[in-house]
Structure 1
Amino acid sequence: MSVCARPASVVACLVAAALGTLLLGLAAGSSGFGFAASEIVWQIRAPRVLAGFGAGAALALAGALMQSLTRNALADPYVLGISSGAAVGALSAMLLGGIGAATVSAWWAHWGVAAGASLGAFGATLLLLGLSWRVLTSSGVSGNQEAPVSLLLIGVMIGSAGSAVVTLLLTFAPEVQLRGMVFWLLGDLNGATHWIAVWTALLLALAATWPWAHQLDWLARGDAWAATLGVPVVRRRRQVLLAAALATGAAVATGGAIGFVGLVAPHALRLLGLRHAPWLLPASALAGGAFVVLADAAARTVVAPVQLPVGVLAAAVGVPSFLVLLLRGPRGVRR
């Protein structure tokens, strides 16, 4: 039996791996690996590593929550449409603030874009809750087995509408701003130094879901089954949805649209045997954070001194993983 065979051992191994990737991220620079002057490490690299880890952890946690809520292993935070809403808000802020103007660029690039992404994510969440209100409140004791499918479809439609607006904004964007907007859409941690907000959102999402995480396992068996065990199905659905939206919005506001983290991390952990939510939720956060930090370290060094968008390398792993899952069939996450 391997060292990381049991759930507690897997989590312990993930903690060790996360610490290792954090050190690797601190050592990665645009000129290769190695620890530079202390000012560079602690003022530039450390905030970026913490922001990347927090964003990846939040996306992976949201993915694990959404896969349990929808009972579909192919679900990830982006099926909610929250990321598209955040993208609309961020790109709108870039256009309104004039990222190309040197007088406002430094301040607005840090706070204005993050605020726009957060407002966009919040708006998409309100829209999702409004459109799915009847679905979320129609389960009752008998259970509504169509609710997860309906949530997915509503999220896909919101995401498609958001993508159309993003395309329109890119069409009208000035040439001087277009490169920065595209990089943000690809997922870019360059300049992502404000990590406290995403860590706060991550901890709030965990605090709102982990104490009753065992009920997610019951919900994954069906609403009727969970209701007979005393689970408040409607309330739990809303809590999961809001926690996933909070984590996704904060992650997108911090690092841009980094895709596939919420899909790959939870599913990989299930393949390792972590199928119960009390173990899966914190383990997904650790795995997602380590994954993004590792991808960002590679993005900074693989073609140094040029820095690639971290979303490109995340997609290089996520796309094949998604295709494998799709070919195997969406078998869900029932225990």
Structure 2
Amino acid sequence: MTLKPPPLTLALLLTALAVPAAFALGLLSGSAGWGWPSEEIFWLIRLPRVLAAFGTGAALALAGALIQLVTRNPLGDPHVLGVTSGASVGALLMLMLAPAGLLLAPELGAVLGALAAMTLVFALAWRSMGRGLAPSASPGTVIVLLVGVMIGAACGAAVSFMLAMANDQQLRNIVFWLLGDLNGAALWWPVWAATSLALLLAWPRAQELDWIARGDAWAWTLGVPVAKRRRLAIFAACLATGAAVATAGSIGFVGLVAPHIVRLTGLRAARVLLPFSAVFGGVFLVLADTVARTAIAPAQLPVGVISAAVGVPLFLMLLLRRRA
């Protein structure tokens, strides 16, 4: 008889193996080939890029796990629900309109844009989410997804308008940034700080988020201030998403892939789902960036292409299984 390790032990074992392996691959890989870089390249390029990739992946995965909990929707993801697109619009507006040299202007714009997009999703899809009137109220998965797609399309139109207004010097950098690009992402600490703050806000209320995920009425009977906790979780998710978008641009499906990988280990309670989702999301994006740098070396792919190549099939599989 084969004995399976407990879920927490399995997750800790995978973390202990995956994190060092991902960092080693990220530090050893480059568009010029594999190998240990010079000291200057290590400190100025590779280490900041790996740290930025891990922080961005952790932020998006944490945001995805929070969105899935508060919407009771296993397909929830900042990119799918239009939150990433809203953050992109906010960051680009701040880049174009804010005074030159304003500290953390893209980060602030991205957080505000993500909050605006998520507020629209909840405002337009609230009725389809059942308003929590019964513990078994349907989360209205299809309606929520459609609302998110429409908000993402509207944000895409706004981004297209801003691209049309950009000059030739700005255009290439903006396009690669919108596709999700970690090339030149030297400022890694804001996304780490934002992710830590988001986790610090959400993790102490993890059990209450589990009750909300079972239904608003269920949570109300246990004395949970549902609206307040939902607003807190949304703010934490938007804070993390905004910092991720400001760091690496629009990268999709990390928030969908990482929480489901954690659930495959058997961990479903929010108190372990949230931190392990962040860790696995960071590992996933570091590995995706490694592939993006080496797949067609010396040229580099945007990391958003690699994350979408993994996330889209998973999204379709989950959607078809849910419909079935």
TM-score interval for Structure 1 and Structure 2 normalised by the shorter chain: 0.7 to 0.9
Q: Does 1:58 align with 2:51?
A: no
Unaligned 5+ residue runs, structure 1? 98-103
Displacement of 1:240: 0.7
- Offset at residue 175 of structure 1 (A): 3.0
Q: How does 1:98-117 map to 2 (within 5 A)?
A: 115-117=105-107
Specify which of 210, 218, 226 is matched with residue 233 of structure 1: 226
Taking the aligned partners of 1:300 and 1:42, their CA distance within structure 2 comes to 18
Q: Deviations over 1:78-118 (max 9, x none)?
A: 24433212212333455569xxxxxx8xxx7xx77x62353
Cα distance between partner residues in 2 of 1:212 and 1:142: 22
Greater Cα shift, 233-242 or 74-83: 74-83
| Corresponding residue of 2:84 | 83
CA distance in 2, matches of 1:178, 1:2: 56
Deviation at 1:145, TM superposition (A): 4.1
Alignment of 1:138-149 (within 5 A): 145=137
- Pair 1:20-2:21 in alignment: yes
Distance 1:243 1:62, change over 3 A: same
**Equivalent position SS for 1:213:** helix
Q: CA RMSD in A?
A: 2.9
* AA aligned opposite 2:296: V
Judged with a 3 Å threshold, the aligned counterparts in structure 2 of structure 1 residues 236 and 151 are, in CA distance, closer, same or farther, namely farther
Aligned pairs for 1:1-335 (under 5 A) are 1=2, 5-93=6-94, 95=96, 115-126=105-116, 128-129=118-119, 132=122, 145=137, 155-329=148-322
* Cα offset, 1:173, TM superposition: 2.9
Distance in 2, Cα, partners of 1:30 & 1:6:
37
Percentage of matched positions with identical amino acids: 53
Instruction: Between 46-55 and 20-29, report the one with greater CA deviation.
Output: 20-29
The one-letter amino acid of 2:196's match is L
Amino acid at match of 2:253: F
In structure 2, what is the Cα distance between the partners aligned to 1:123 and 1:314?
Answer: 22
Which structure 2 residue ranges, 5 or more long, are not aligned?
A: none
Normalising by structure 2, we get a TM-score of: 0.87
Q: CA deviation at 1:212?
A: 2.0
Structure 1 residue 290, shift from structure 2 partner:
0.4
Q: Confirm or deny: 8 A CA contact 2:75 2:256 kept in the other structure.
A: yes
SS at match of 1:60: helix
Over residues 248-273 of structure 1, what are the superposed CA-to-partner deviations in whole Å (9 max), with x where a residue is unaligned?
00001001111110011111221221
TM superposition score normalised by structure 1: 0.85
Q: How many residues align?
A: 319
| Structure-1 separation of matches of 2:203 and 2:137 | 24
Q: Which amino acid in 1 is paired with 2:13?
A: A
Q: In structure 1, how many angstroms separate the alpha carbons of the residues matched to 2:215 and 2:132?
A: 12
